[in-house]
Amino acid sequence: MSDLLFYMHGGSGNHGCEAIVTGLLDGGRLKAAKEEVMLLSMRADEDRRYLPQNLCSIAEEKHVEENRLVHTLLYGYKKITGDAGTYLRYRYRPAFEGGRSYSAAVSIGGDNYCYPLMVDELMAANAVLHKKGIRTILLGCSIEPALLKSAPEGGAPDSERGGHTKEELLRDLFSYHTILARESLTFTALKAAQQSAALQGLEGAEKVRILLTPDPAFLMEPAPVEETVYPPHFAPGKTIGLNLSPMAEDYEANKGCVRESFLALIRHILETSEDAVALIPHVVWKNSNDLTVLRELYETARAQADEADRDRILLVEDQPARALKRVISGCRLFIGARTHATIAAYSTGVPTLVIGYSIKAKGIAKDLFQDAVILGEPYREEDYVLPVQELNNPQQLVSKYDRLRKGEPELREYLRKKLPDYIREAKNNHQVIQEVWAE
């Protein structure tokens, strides 16, 4: 049996990516030696900084843009041959140095199919690995159902699939050995697309295995308190955690409304309670840094607050995913935009409102709370997910927070009962990977 490759990993400066790797590999859940597992990363320095030590081997992709001559040669070759895998073979070369080979490869950026700019790369990587005889797994998959339909059927235009047709996208998806959908909305859409494609005779549609398995980040343990950096005045159980991202602001329909809504919420919390407010980052990449937004929010909120309340507005510093999860676990309530920041809250039993912008937020909330009856109301998506695209008045967020706070005792009790089975299901990720790797 050859080695196991994890790819489509952007780097642990996105602590969601870090949480997935940690959830998969920490604690010996995957029966493999460090030397048998390779993490191919776009930013290996981040992984060495943030990931727990001795999880796996780490290699950094080659960066085409850093070598003008290589970029020119590869561009010319691709232009002449039409070979979509030209860049990927060069970028992935470090993972294969020394004659290293792999039986299976796991794409751990499963929600990237939601982003048009990523579809070309995902499809090229899948094809390149298949040509090497490697079985591929798409892990943590979330995909907008409209992408699996043609535009006349109420589906998406080709531009939202990175310029590819529905048939091209389905042919790529169904060439994976196994797809692990992290939530039921994606799972249902994939199964329907599979059935339809099989009836139409699309190659591979009947062979691909599609399973529903919660995100492995639910399995990541919080860091010990002594390895966690808390801001001054952070009081466990008396602090409201907030996460806001540049990506959430990119998706807002009413520009500036998300920031104003968070400022209004901070004012409301300070005026109606004695709780502190902690602003918590979860991605710190240069091109999408939560701390950039949160520092501005922190400064503005402190300037607007009464002097006596300013010490109740806290900014949490960047630190590894396990430490951030420990901070989040100490929050009374959590309102967040980054998916894996909300997973850190959910999985530690913290009542959570998601400021969502895609199918993954809605799907995870549905799977967790579809059986919940809170404040006498059965499950309604709008009680757990507030899409940024629909945010047009700061009072919307304040009202959602008030309901979250009112339902806090019931939500905590519900999560206490729900989480053990849900988290146990997340361990199926390891079983499936192990099976495909051993085939």
Per residue in 75-114, pLDDT tens?
A: 687 778 877 788 889 899 999 999 999 999 999 987 888 8
Q: Check residue 32 and give its pLDDT.
A: 87
Sole residue written with tokens 């991202």: 245
Contact present, 325 and 227 (Cβ < 8 Å): no
**Alpha-carbon torsion 338, 343, 346, 348, what sign?**
negative
Instruction: List the structure tokens of 214.
Output: 């919660």
Q: Check residue 151 and give its pLDDT.
A: 64
Contact present, 254 and 396 (Cβ < 8 Å): no
Query: CATH number of the domain at 225-423, out of 3.40.50.10490, 3.40.50.2000, 3.30.1180.20, 3.40.30.10?
Result: 3.40.50.2000
CATH code linked to domain 3-219+425-438: 3.40.50
What lies within 8 Å, CB to CB, of 191 at 6+ separation is 210
Contact present, 3 and 103 (Cβ < 8 Å): yes
pLDDT in tens, 404-430: 999 999 999 999 999 999 999 999 999
CATH 3.40.50.2000 domain locations along the chain? 225-423
Contact present, 143 and 360 (Cβ < 8 Å): no
Dist. CA 342–CA 152, nearest whole Å: 35
Q: Check residue 253 and give its pLDDT.
A: 87
Local structure of residue 385 (DSSP, 8 states): B
**CA distances (Å), 143 to each of 16, 170, 361, in order?**
17, 12, 11
Q: What is the DSSP string of 43-60?
A: -HHHHHHHSPTTS-EEEE
Q: Where are the beta strands (DSSP E) in 135-232?
A: 135-141, 178-181, 209-212
* Percent of the chain whose pLDDT exceeds 90: 81
Q: Check residue 157 and give its pLDDT.
A: 79
What lies within 8 Å, CB to CB, of 294 at 6+ separation is 243, 244, 279, 280, 281, 315
Q: Check residue 152 and give its pLDDT.
A: 64
pLDDT in tens, 176-205: 999 999 999 999 999 999 999 999 998 889
The residues of the chain scoring below 50 in pLDDT are none
